[in-house]
Amino acid sequence: LYGGLGAGKTVLAQGVALGLGIDPREVQSPTFALLREHEMPGGVGGEERAEGRLSHLDLYRISPSEAAACGFEEVLLGPGVKIVEWAERLPFLVPGALALTLREGEGDRREIAELASQPEPAPE
């Protein structure tokens, strides 16, 4: 997800979570934690399944080189649903990823400014 502060990235992540059966109140901006993971309902016998996980990253506080050092590539290339706020700071491409740019509209409204596939990685 791309867009400035207050563009609605976390609110959109909450909407995606709701659609996946996750309580949207559990989805908060992971700005300080960098990564928050949420289990999707429906795991067999209460077992955690990677394919049943929403991984929500927020790269606002780190540079592309720091993002590379954090090991996010393994999370992002693995199974499950991923949402990355400030994705322009990723130093690598995620196959099949969609880039969604949000911007503030009038009042409390937010707008989708652009939707594209295969965003360019950030320079190191």
pLDDT at 51 over 70: no
Q: Nearest 5°: phi and psi at 94? A: -110, 115
In one-letter notation, the amino acid at residue 71 is G
Rounded-to-integer distance, Cα 7 and Cα 118, Å:
21
Is 21 inside a domain boundary? yes
Does a structural domain hold residue 2?
no
Structure tokens at 46: 């209460």
Asked if the structure places residue 1 within a domain, the reply is no
Please state the pTM of the whole predicted model.
0.80
Instruction: CATH number of the domain at 67, please.
Output: 3.40.50.300
**Tokens representing 65?**
């080189």
Number of domains in the chain: 1
CA separation for the pair 56, 72 (Å, rounded): 11
| pLDDT tens figures, 75-111 | 888 888 999 999 888 888 888 888 889 988 888 888 8
Query: 34: domain range?
Result: 9-41+50-117
